[in-house]
């Protein structure tokens, strides 16, 4: 089975900061990776599909890149509403694990 790791697991940042989160897969998953944002007490919300395709309605400050085994989610200028936990998920083959998550907190 494919395993996902995320780094860092916790990130403290200020409004306006550029933030980068990394997701690594244990095997080549091509570009079949999604990113989700989850706020406390809420269901996850899909941000990015196919490693770099922004979902409709997601602000352009979010971007994704990568292929193969290494992927990044970047927030170009962190906004107050972006403080949340971010998860990656591989979609290349079953099972469909999520990464362990990265919590972005206010500095």
CB closer to another protein, 16 vs 43: 43
> What are the phi and psi torsion angles at 33 (to 5°)?
-140, 140
Rounded to the nearest whole angstrom, what is the least distance from the CB of residue 71 to another protein in the complex? 13
- Phi and psi at residue 80, in whole multiples of 5°? -55, -35
**Residue with smaller CB distance to another protein, 45 or 76:** 45
Question: Are the C-beta atoms of residues 70 and 21 closer than 8 Å to each other?
Answer: no
Question: Which tokens in the block code for residue 65?
Answer: 């890149």
Is the peptide bond preceding residue 19 cis, with omega within 30 degrees of 0?
Answer: no
* Smallest distance, another protein to C-beta of residue 82, A: 19
User: What is the contact surface with another protein in residues (CB under 8 A)?
Assistant: 1, 32, 34, 36, 38, 43-46, 49-50, 55, 87, 89, 91-92, 94-101
Minimum distance of another protein from residue 97's CB (angstroms): 6
């Amino acid at each position: 089975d494919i395993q996902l790791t995320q780094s860092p697991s916790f990130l403290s940042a200020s409004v306006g900061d550029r933030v980068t989160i990394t997701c690594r897969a244990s095997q080549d998953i091509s570009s079949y990776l999604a990113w989700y944002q989850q706020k406390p007490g809420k269901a996850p919300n899909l941000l990015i599909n196919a490693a770099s395709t922004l979902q409709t309605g997601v602000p352009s400050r979010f971007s994704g890149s990568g292929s193969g085994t290494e992927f990044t989610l970047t927030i170009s200028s962190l906004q107050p509403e972006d403080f949340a936990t971010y998860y990656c998920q591989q979609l290349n083959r079953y099972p469909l694990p999520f990464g362990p998550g990265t919590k972005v907190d206010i500095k």
